[in-house]
Structure formats: structure tokens, C-alpha cells
Amino acid sequence: MRFERLVIEADDSTFALDFHPKLTVISSVGQVEREGLINELVGSLSSSRPGVHAEVVADNGGHFAIFRPRGARPLVVDVDASADVSARFTDAEGEIDLLSVAGMTARDAKRTLRVTRRDLDASTHHEKVVRRLAKLDPDALWAIADETLASEHRLEQAATSSGSSPEDATVVSRIEERHERFEEAQRTAEESRRVSFIAGVITALALVPTAMFLGQELTILLAIIAVMMLTASLVRKYLMLRARKAEEAVLAEAGAQTYLGFHMQRVNGLIESQQARQNLIEAKVAHDGALERWAELAGDISLDWAFEHRDEIEAAATHVAAVTDSGVSAPPDDADDLAACTRALMQRVDDVRTFGPAGESLPLIIDDAFSGLKADLKAKILGILVQVSESQQVVLLTSEDDVADWARSEAIHGTMSIIEPSTVQTSIR
């Protein structure tokens, strides 16, 4: 199915868009206008608002007009037979809805028919990630991947055997770390307090004879030493209190107020087995280390994603190895990006080719998807789009001047058309 004409009535004005059977470029449209036009195009095939009419051509060549007049019932007319065929396209609720009859919603249709820059970026990013992993040493890549996965399984097993969960391992590890800091700060504070006490006693005992026999200057020096000892003791006590607060904060996250309370509330099973707690912490440390090694090699690519696309990555790695062994230079990134964009477009073309009612094709709508691409890459993709339109109607909405210039040049040959604001048919009633 392809669009021939779309007529939109708004208040006292009406405007019409005539579509080329292959490729139609609608230029000088911003995001808001593009969104509105796409909604009207898709809506004309569903139960759109009154005042939106469409003329379409079925894959078998039949011409149909979809009318939604204001204040009257909508209908579908077989133009060739001059017959009302509305019953063929009426859904269970009595609405003229070609999409509903085919078991789809306007939202589904819009998501499938429309291709945006984000769609192409997602596909290109996917290809780039695959290529990036394919260029790594496959033995090292999958060895670290398997190691990380195995460490995750060991962590799960340790958590299960302790009656806890892998998430608890993080809390346990943090609490153990904070508790060790607190105990160390407490030991240091106690030692400092003891030393300060002894030094204070000695200093106090020495002040009187010092003042009597050695003079005022030495007495002042001893007093300064005593003050320094007292200050050091206070600093140690402050550090101990801060360590205690840090421990209490992480315990609060675990739903406990004391170290012992944490074990009793959150991981009660671990109290019964010091070894289980130790196993859980060791498994967590090992898993964190494996994740760090994976991140060093693969960056921000998740392990699950890599395993999900392993066949694709290994196939790409085989291709990279073959190219390297042949001595032929690897294709530039632009060529890879072109290939990725082409695959994304062709996949969407395949999706819409049988997406309509009774397996009908539907138009592919390109929503300014090429904005921001390099000029040479964009030109190649536009050329591919012309080839695609030979067997599939394409509607390209764009805000880019260079695409509009290209479309004007190509439209001279009659293989496509361009709709610009100055060429839109508008009438006022």
C-alpha cells in the first residue's frame, strides 16, 4: 500500500499533499511539524480525527479513498469500482480503522513505519560495539568473560549457602570495612589517651620543680607539650567518633543500629557461621576484581550484552582475522557506518513490507534520520534510499537544506518528488 494523497482540514482551511509512488521528500519541516505530519499519515489509516482524508493504492493496484467528513460517518470507497467498501475495513467498534483490522494499533504502526536518527544511531552503535570487541584478543576476551561469569555464580552460591543474597554481600563488605576502621580508630584513640594520661601526669609532676629550679621558659615548654598531648588525644577521639558514625550510617542502610544488630536482623544466618560470612566477602571481592578486569578490557559494555551477541562478535572477529591475514587494509569507520545504516534501513524495509492489512506493504517514513551525518556518508545513504524506493514507497521528512537541494536536483528526473512549503496546495473556505 502506498499513499497517493493526504488531505487535512483545519478550521476554515484545507491543504493537500500529493505523494510520489516511490520517494517523496517533504522539506523545511521542523520537529513539531514532522511529528504532526507523521501522526496524520499514520492516523489516516486508523481511526483518525474527522477532517483527515487519504487516497491510497493497494499492492494489487486497487485505488481506495478514505473519507472522514465532519458530522458524517467515515467511509472507504473503491475508486475503480465506485463502490462503498467500508465494511471491509470496519473494526469491532464500528470504526474505519485499517490498522485495527490488521490487529495493530496506531502506536505500533508509528513505531514500525518511522525511522529516526536515534534508530540509526542505535544500529550504528551496536555495530561499533561489535567491531570494537571483535578487534580484541578473543582468547583474552572470552576468558575474562567466563571468569567474571563464574565469579558471579560463586557469589550467588556463597550468598545462598549463607542464607543471604548477592546484594547483601556489598552491605556485609562495607560494614566489615567500616567496622574495622572503627576498631582501628578506637585502638588508636585508647593508646593515645593512655600515652596522653601518662605524659600529663609526668608533665604535671615536673612543672613545679621545673618552675622552682630550671626557670620559667622550660616550664612554658612543658606546658606546651602537655597541651599538644591533650590536642592529639582529642583528635584521636574525634576520628574514632567519625568512624563510628560512618559505621552507623551503613548499618542504618542495612536496617540495623549496631554491628551485632546488623547480623541479627539482616544476615542472621551468617552469625552461625563465621566461615560463611568470610566466604561471602571473598566471593564479593573476587567478583569485583573480575568486573574490574572486564571493564579494563571491554569498557562500559555489559557482560550480559557480550554473551547475548557472542556469535555476532565471533563472526566479526573471524572476518577481522581474515582481512588481517590477507594483508588488505581494514575498511574505514565511515564504510562500517554506511554498512550499519544500510542494514538498519533494509531491516526496517523488510518490517514494513508485509506490515499492513492482509500482509500489505506500508510506506517507510524517514523522520530527519540523516541529520548530523558527514556529507559523503549522507549522500551515499540517500542514494541507497532511492534504490529502496524502487520497490517500497518512502516518505522523507527533513529540516536540512542540503537534503532539500539534493531532492530538487533528483526530482528533475521524475524518479521522486519534493514538497516544499511554497508548493503545498492550500485552500480557504
pLDDT at 175 over 60: no
| SS3 label, residue 115 | strand
What gap in Å lies between CA 317 and CA 327, rounded to an integer?
16
For 62, phi then psi, to 5°, come to -70, 140
Phi then psi for residue 418, to 5 deg, are -125, 135
Q: Average pLDDT in the 330-339 region?
A: 61
Query: What pLDDT, in 10s, does the model give residues 97-127?
Result: 888 777 778 888 888 899 988 888 777 777 7
Higher local confidence (pLDDT), 390 or 13: 390
Give the per-residue pLDDT at 334. Answer: 59
Burial of 32 from C-beta contacts in 10 A (0-12 / 13-18 / 19+): exposed
pLDDT at 373: 82
Per-residue pLDDT of 24-66, as tens digits, reads: 999 988 888 888 889 889 888 887 678 889 999 988 899 999 9
Cell numbers found for residue 386: 532511492
Q: What pLDDT, in 10s, does the model give residues 47-58?
A: 767 888 999 998
Highest mean pLDDT among 104-113, 178-187, 397-406: 397-406
264/238: higher pLDDT: 238
| Confidence bin at 169 (pLDDT 50/70/90) | low
Mean pLDDT of the chain: 77
* pLDDT at residue 330, as a whole number: 45
DSSP string, 4-29: EEEEEEETTEEEEEE--SSEEEE-S-
- Predicted pLDDT of residue 264: 42
pLDDT per residue over 270-305, tens digit each? 435 567 767 777 888 888 899 999 999 988 888 888
Q: State mean pLDDT over 383-405.
A: 92
The pLDDT tens digits for 298-311 are: 888 888 888 988 99
pLDDT over 80 at 254, yes or no: no
Q: Residue 398: its pLDDT value, please?
A: 93
* Nearest-angstrom CA–CA distance, 92 and 151: 55
Instruction: Output the nine-digit C-alpha cell for 224.
Output: 606546651
Q: Is the pLDDT of residue 337 over 80?
A: no
- Does the domain at 2-104+355-428 match CATH 3.40.1380.10? Answer given as no
Q: What pLDDT does 335 receive?
A: 65
For the chain, the structural domain boundaries read: 2-104+355-428, 163-272
Sheet bearing 23-26, strands edge to edge: 114-116, 364-367, 394-397, 23-26, 416-419
Q: Which three cell numbers stand for residue 217?
A: 621558659
**Residue with more model confidence, 173 or 111:** 111
